[in-house]
């Protein structure tokens, strides 16, 4: 027996059979187009390995790579079939995604190269590809963004949330991000749905590109900022609002809070004040209340 309590303490006793039937009927109606989350995560991981895995010296590597490619295409078709019932539409979406894959790959090489050139701690391109969470989050974002641009629902968010769970970097698949995008460290970064980011932008950990107003009625308007080419945003900065534009070549310092635009080549920072304690006693005790 299954004991289900309602609000107010009233008890309903439901048999397991009735519970399963009720669950099946309810979820069958409400979640009829619901892709498998585990398969989506597996697809993202295997696609990343397909693009950046090492094949040199492996026997029959090219033939195996071709088989892996076909397997990935079938995996995507299976995921899409949970969202789109028409087989011809599923095939078209899968074909469109894999036709765009060479372009995604070239974009990601530019992203990786930007990180290598920008981060003095990065020694090799292989290190960036395999060990940098910022690059991994960017890679999954570019996959998810392609699916989003094809009008696919839900699946792009599954991919982006998988990257979020792995890296701590939250990039909405609808955001528009240009080439040679570099994330350093990355933990805590949030890039909202209507954000527009230009080329050669660099972002550190803890940056939020968010909305001033999160009302549901504003869902159809631009709510997140525009970051033009060549901008560097240091850790902890928060930039909010759909009308906020950070002009090209600007530097946004750490922990800055911005809700208005700044012109190109600006430097925005908090002025710190340092006071040196002398040997004289304080005029009165300091009281702290916690």
Give residue limits of the domains in the chain: 1-30, 33-169, 188-271
CATH class of 188-271: mainly beta
Beta pairing class for 2-5 and 196-197: unpaired
Q: Give the pLDDT confidence score for residue 115 in this predicted structure.
A: 98
Structure tokens at 207: 């940056």
CA angle in degrees (0–180, nearest 5) for 89-90-94 = 115
Structure tokens at 257: 């809070």
Task: Summarize pLDDT for 100-144 with one digit per residue, the tens.
Answer: 999 999 999 999 999 999 999 999 999 999 999 999 999 999 999
Given a contact cutoff of 8 angstroms between Cβ atoms, the answer to whether 242 and 214 are in contact is no
CATH of segment(s) 33-169: 1.10.3130.10
Given a contact cutoff of 8 angstroms between Cβ atoms, the answer to whether 157 and 173 are in contact is yes
CA angle in degrees (0–180, nearest 5) for 154-160-163 = 145
Beta pairing class for 232-233 and 202-203: parallel
Structure tokens at 272: 């710190």
Neighbours of 83 (CB within 10 A): 17
Mean pLDDT of the chain: 90
Task: Summarize pLDDT for 16-70 with one digit per residue, the tens.
Answer: 888 888 888 877 666 656 788 999 999 999 999 999 988 766 678 888 899 999 9
Beta strands per DSSP E along 6-130: 11-14
Task: Summarize pLDDT for 187-210 with one digit per residue, the tens.
Answer: 999 999 999 999 999 999 999 999
Half-sphere exposure of 131 (CA within 13 A, CB side): 9
C-alpha 189/C-alpha 137 separation (Å) is 10
Helix and strand numbers (H, E) in the chain are: 7, 16
């Amino acid at each position: 027996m299954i004991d289900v309590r309602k609000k107010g303490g009233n008890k309903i006793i439901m048999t397991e059979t009735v519970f399963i039937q009720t669950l099946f009927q309810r979820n069958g109606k409400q979640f009829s187009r619901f892709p498998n989350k585990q398969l989506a995560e597996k697809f993202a991981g295997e696609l990343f390995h397909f693009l950046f895995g090492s094949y040199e010296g492996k026997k029959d590597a090219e033939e195996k790579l071709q088989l892996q490619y076909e397997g990935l295409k079938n995996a995507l078709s299976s995921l899409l079939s949970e969202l789109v019932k028409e087989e011809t539409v599923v095939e078209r979406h899968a074909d469109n995604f894999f036709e765009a894959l060479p372009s995604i790959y070239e974009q990601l090489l530019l992203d990786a190269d930007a990180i290598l050139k920008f981060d003095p701690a990065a020694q090799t391109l292989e290190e960036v590809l395999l060990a940098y969470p910022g690059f991994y989050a960017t890679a999954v974002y570019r996959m998810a963004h392609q699916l989003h641009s094809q009008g696919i629902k839900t699946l792009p968010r599954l991919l982006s949330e998988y990257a979020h769970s792995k890296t701590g970097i939250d990039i909405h698949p609808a955001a528009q991000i240009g080439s040679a995008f570099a994330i350093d460290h990355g933990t805590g970064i949030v890039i909202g749905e209507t954000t527009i980011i230009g080329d050669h932008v660099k972002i550190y950990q803890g940056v939020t590109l968010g909305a001033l107003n999160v009302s549901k009625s504003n869902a159809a308007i631009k709510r997140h900022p525009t970051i033009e080419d060549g901008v560097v945003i240091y850790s902890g900065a928060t930039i909010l609002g759909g009308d906020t534009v950070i002009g090209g070549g600007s530097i946004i310092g750490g922990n800055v809070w911005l809700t208005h635009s700044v012109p190109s080549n600006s430097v925005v920072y908090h002025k710190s004040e340092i006071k040196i304690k002398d040997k004289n006693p304080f005029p009165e005790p300091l009281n702290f209340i916690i």
